[in-house]
A and B are shown apart, each in its own frame.
Chain A
Amino acid sequence: MLVLEGLRKSFGGLVAVDGVDLRVLEGEIVGLIGPNGAGKTTLFNCVTGGLRPDAGSIRLREEELAGLRPHQISRRGLARSFQIPRTIQRMTVLENMLLGAEDRRDTSLTRFLVDSRGARRRERRMAGEAMGLLEEFGLDHLAQEFASVLSGGQHKLLGLAQALMMHPSILLLDEPAAGVNPTLIGEIVDRLLDMRERGITLLIIEHNLRFLERIAERVMVMAQGTILTSGTMEEIRQHQDVLDAYLGHPAVG
């Protein structure tokens, strides 16, 4: 599904991603762990087009993504969530959802001016779909509120729901469980398992290993810009490199 080869990205002298090869199969849930500053977010930013990689290739179902711009990549079915949620504050929760759903045709101003009734109808239809998702995520009662009223955890949930509005085939999640209370984490796990049922492939950055244990079939360990190893969570736990990489890291506990 998603294949990276020799991906490299440096900031000045600092090599944040140093020749990463990885492969995510269709329908898999893959975890990506590693200490702070390992280059995980930078890797995501390269894949989603926010950063231009210095070298290497990124292929989504055989199609090269390196060099494409972010909106072109997300239109090819690759959506993401952000480590720090990036919902639009001065906009309602429902409108944030629509922002994820609307394509180029819906957002054309000329089309709207010519046929605003039709556009409104489509908007209401999508809003109906959005309400269904918000209900699943327990956010429906906040649909008409400005997103600025949401709590940190609710922002994370909205980020996930918003990404789903894009009908992605693969979803890259950057620390979906960080800063979320334990009950809500259970909620997120259920949502992610639902997504797999719908056939969405997931690549998840996460420090919370207990969380990954519950969903990831395979985990990759990244440190200092490279992938150290990969395997099931049990295999990973045995691995000396990982213990070294995480030495003193509280999440391993």
Chain B
Amino acid sequence: MIDFLVTAGILVAFFVILASGLNLQWGLTGLANLGPVGFFALGSYVSGLVMIPPPEVTGFVTDTFVISLGLPWPVGLVAALIVTGVVATVIGWMLLRTDTAPLFVAVITLAFAEIFFLLIITQKWLANGFNGIRGIDRPLGNLVEFGTYERFFLVVMVVAAALVFWFVRHVEASPYGRVLKGIREDPAAVAALGHDVRRFRISAFVLGCLVLALAGALWTPFVTVVEPSAFGTEQTFLVWAVLIIGGAGNAWGPLVGGLVIIGLIQQGTRFLPATGEIAELTVRLRGVVIGLLFILFLRFRPKGLVPERARRILPEDP
């Protein structure tokens, strides 16, 4: 029971981080990133490659990696953020102009995730293809007792999710966030008010990608493997479902969405008093239920469980 809660908590925190990253892009800025899983995967792979020791050391002698540095986790994390930052800046710089159509953003980000996935599975020399990266040393694995490691992981994830939440709260309540919200509705009008729309769009896109990559770089070392199968399109769908059902455009949305969709529906359904075929069926139906909820929310409550609220500013008496 406790173990289950720990696992569920880790997954909730993980999706809160992912959906918060997407919230910076879609929720605040109106950039429809349809490839969040691609940036999450990029963060995972970069941190994995930096952390994995050479195949002779891990013992999987047929594995091939473009680099295998065996460096500690913080290095892997920083490397993941730097590489993702560069990649996202290049994509944003080429893609995002003041008048870029939303559909264009959607298609290009979707294509990025697909290309990255194909690159990984077809180019074995890069990151060992289908078998992925295995044999990463768990951070602080020698200090934390093996039986309690999951709990340690939970603490790390919750702290990270809290930091990301704090960050998005600040963005949302800042003049910077106000410009993003303006751009979401009318880029040309915001430009006429003296704001460099292109710069704001690129920076929000990059910030969102960094948060997505952070999730990847946290996930990798703690589960010790990076496998291509973890980065399917269904992850992108789940991140979107968490954001939209929770409520886009405010920091609470991803938090509530994560608790409800991942905590209650995806993980909570394991508790149903069912066995055998019925249990099997509930597992299969989870995805269907989330999909239906997603559609129903889009249709009847597009603002989500926690709608974005007006920001009240108390004016100083002149």
Contact = CB atoms under 8 A, between A and B. Distances in A.
Interface of A: 48-50, 69-71, 74-75, 79-80, 82, 86-92, 94-95, 98-100, 102-104, 106-109, 112-113, 116, 119, 123-125, 127-132, 143-146, 162, 166
Nearest to A145: B310
5 contacts: A50-B192, A95-B310, A100-B193, A107-B179, A146-B310
B186 interface: yes
Contacts of B314: 124, 127
A189 B272 CA distance: 70
A80 B192 contact: yes
**Highest count of chain B CB atoms <10 Å: which of A82, A91, A108:** A91
Contacts of B268: none
Q: Which 3 A-B pairs have the closest CB atoms?
A: A127-B315, A86-B189, A70-B191
B182 A91 contact: yes
Contact of A94 (B191, B315, B318): B315
Interface in B162-214: 170-171, 174-176, 178-179, 181-182, 185-186, 188-198, 200, 203
Contacts of A50: 188, 191-192
Given A71-B196, A82-B192, A89-B185, 19 more contacts: A69-B198, A70-B188, A82-B189, A90-B185, A92-B311, A95-B310, A95-B313, A98-B313, A99-B193, A102-B175, A102-B179, A109-B176, A119-B174, A123-B313, A127-B316, A128-B318, A129-B318, A145-B310, A146-B310
B313 A124 contact: yes
B194 A103 contact: yes
B150 interface: no
B284 interface: no
Contact of B197 (A71, A86, A89): A71
A144 B314 CA distance: 9
B54 to A, nearest CB: 39
Given A70-B192, A88-B186, A132 B178 contact: no
B310 A74 contact: no
B63 interface: no
Interface string B225-237: 0000000000000
B277 interface: no
Given A69-B196, A102-B175, A116-B174, A92 B181 contact: no
B315 A130 contact: yes
B280 interface: no
Interface of B: 98, 170-171, 174-176, 178-179, 181-182, 185-186, 188-198, 200, 203, 308, 310-318
Nearest to B194: A74
User: Which of B171, B197, B316 has most chain A Cβ within 10 Å?
Assistant: B316
B195 A71 contact: yes
Contacts of B197: 71
Given A99-B178, A128-B318, A88 B311 contact: no
A107 B175 contact: yes
Contacts of A127: 313-316
Contacts of B195: 71, 99, 107
A109 B174 contact: yes
Interface centre among B186, B190, B310 (most CB of A within 10 A): B310
B198 to A, nearest CB: 8
Nearest to B189: A86
A86 B315 contact: no
Contacts of A128: 315-318
Contacts of B191: 49-50, 69-71, 74
Nearest to A87: B189
Contacts of A100: 193-194
B313 A70 contact: no
Contacts of B98: 69-70
A92 B178 CA distance: 11
Nearest to B179: A107
Contact of A88 (B182, B198, B315): B182
B194 A71 contact: yes
Given A107-B176, A119-B175, A128-B315, A99 B310 contact: no
